[in-house]
């Protein structure tokens, strides 16, 4: 069933186009698609709305009945619109497509508009009218909602990305944008609004993850690293910048925030490492593990004992044979102990003979020089006064010397050895 539809201005609601369609929604989408490459007045009007983030409003005016001729109905509707003074963008009368405007007149009209836009006063007046119309809260809210809807379209987002990339591909465009940004940063209101917007955007996890991924890729290219390094070296050559950075880094609030960020990063990394570890065992699991270890140790000891017993039986080591071998080992150990003791006694006797020889030589020297035994007592006592390894008292030492053939007598609470050696 055919219908008569209107395309209305989203701001004023004024009817700007009248047409006929069997399915108005499909025809509406065709209008939007054709506006991407505008060729006539209606398409240019829709394209202008698209640049402002807007769309025309589709209104179904009436249904064309079966007995009615749709060409006549469409022509009547367009004629009535022009008669009412509507600023229709239709370039034909409808129906059979009779043109309302001569293409040459249309081209002359476009040329006149372009010539008018070269005048600064015309552009300023139009800019002022647009600022007044678009700076109302209702207009900003409507524009915001329309832009959100448009950016949900992947084709629109991709097209804008290509346009922006192409625009900023030239050094002149980047320099102009940098100058505009620096000029805007001088306005505290703009800076505050931008900071609030960025903070609100970073609170969205998905948007934050997307931005971080894009920045990581963009900043890790060799060109970006070289450019950032050159910029930082240039900045650090400025004493004012270095002083400013020193003050910023020495600010207590900055130190507190930096330490908090470092602590938060460390805690996140620790949590990530802990998340990779298995959960700690429960008390029941610990008891089961301890019991399993004990059982394993018991099984190993039992296996070793059985293996040892099996080896002995295989070698024919009966209990009687084992007892005889043990007795033989004890006798061998006792014999070796006795031999070691005899060797030790012989070494002590040899050491004693040597000590006596040295003592006699010292005594002969003392007799020749008229000295006393006191001069050599300490040396003899320290080296040769012990037979079994235990030290002697002085009285025991001198008594031992007497038993070895050294006559001595006590005088003035000390011993003097005689001159005779025998």
- pLDDT band, residue 398 (cuts 50/70/90): low
Mind listing the pLDDT tens digit for each residue in 408-422? 554 433 444 433 333
Average pLDDT estimate for 214-221: 84
**190/94 Cα distance (integer angstroms):** 50
Mind listing the pLDDT tens digit for each residue in 123-157? 888 888 888 877 888 888 888 888 888 788 887 78
Mind listing the pLDDT tens digit for each residue in 224-258? 888 888 888 888 888 888 888 888 888 888 888 88
Residue 40 three-state SS: coil
- The string of DSSP codes covering 322-380 is HHHHHHHHHHHHHHHHHHHHHHHHHHHHHHHHHHHHHHHHHHHHHHHHT--THHHHHHH
Average pLDDT, the chain: 78
- The pLDDT of residue 339: 93
- The pLDDT of residue 99: 45
Residue 359: is its pLDDT beyond 80? no
pTM comes to 0.28
Radius of gyration of the chain (CA): 57
pLDDT above 70 covers what percent of the chain?
Answer: 78
Question: Any residues with CB less than 8 A from the CB of 260 and at least 6 apart, and which?
Answer: none
- The DSSP 8-state label assigned to residue 237 in this structure reads T
- The pLDDT of residue 109: 66
Give the C-alpha distances (Å, rounded to integers) separating 151 from 48, 148, 253, 398: 17, 5, 39, 119
Mind listing the pLDDT tens digit for each residue in 310-348? 666 666 667 777 788 788 888 988 999 999 999 988 887
Residue 225 in tokens: 């690293």
Segment (H or E) for 409 = strand 408-411
């Amino acid at each position: 069933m055919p219908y008569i539809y209107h395309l209305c201005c989203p701001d004023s609601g004024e009817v700007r186009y009248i047409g006929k369609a069997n399915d108005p929604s499909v025809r509406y989408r065709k209008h939007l698609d054709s506006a991407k490459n505008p060729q006539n007045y209606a398409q240019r009007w829709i394209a202008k709305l698209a640049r402002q983030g807007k769309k025309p409003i589709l209104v179904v005016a009436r249904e064309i009945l079966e007995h009615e001729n749709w060409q006549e109905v469409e022509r009547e509707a367009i004629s009535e619109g022009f008669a009412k003074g509507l600023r229709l963008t239709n370039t034909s009368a409808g129906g059979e497509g009779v043109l309302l405007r001569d293409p040459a007149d249309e081209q002359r009209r476009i040329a006149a508009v372009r010539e008018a836009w070269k005048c600064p006063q015309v552009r300023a007046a139009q800019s002022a009218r647009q600022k007044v119309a678009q700076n109302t809260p209702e207009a900003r809210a409507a524009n915001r909602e329309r832009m959100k809807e448009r950016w949900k379209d992947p084709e629109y987002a991709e097209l804008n990305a290509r346009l922006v990339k192409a625009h900023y591909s030239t050094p002149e465009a980047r320099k102009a944008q940098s100058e505009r940004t620096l000029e805007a940063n001088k306005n505290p209101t703009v800076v505050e609004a931008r900071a609030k917007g960025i903070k609100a955007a970073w609170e969205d996890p998905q948007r934050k993850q997307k931005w971080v991924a894009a920045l990581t890729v963009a900043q890790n290219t060799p060109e970006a690293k070289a450019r950032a390094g050159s910029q930082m070296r240039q900045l650090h050559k400025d004493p004012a910048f270095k002083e400013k950075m020193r003050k910023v880094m020495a600010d207590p609030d900055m130190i507190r925030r930096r330490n908090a960020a470092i602590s938060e990063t460390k805690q996140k990394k620790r949590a990530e490492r802990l998340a990779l570890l298995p959960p700690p065992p429960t008390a029941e699991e610990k008891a089961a593990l301890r019991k399993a270890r004990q059982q394993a140790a018991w099984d190993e000891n039992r296996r070793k004992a059985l293996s040892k017993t099996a080896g002995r039986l295989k070698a024919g080591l009966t209990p009687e044979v084992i007892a005889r071998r043990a007795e033989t080992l004890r006798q061998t150990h006792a014999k070796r102990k006795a031999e070691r003791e005899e060797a030790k006694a012989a070494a002590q006797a040899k050491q004693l003979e040597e000590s006596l020889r040295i003592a006699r030589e010292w005594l002969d020297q003392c007799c020749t020089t008229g000295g006393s035994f006191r001069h050599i007592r300490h040396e003899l006592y320290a080296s040769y006064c012990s037979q079994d390894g235990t030290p002697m008292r002085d009285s025991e030492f001198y008594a031992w010397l007497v038993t070895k053939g050294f006559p001595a007598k006590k005088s003035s609470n000390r011993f003097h050895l005689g001159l005779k050696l025998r």
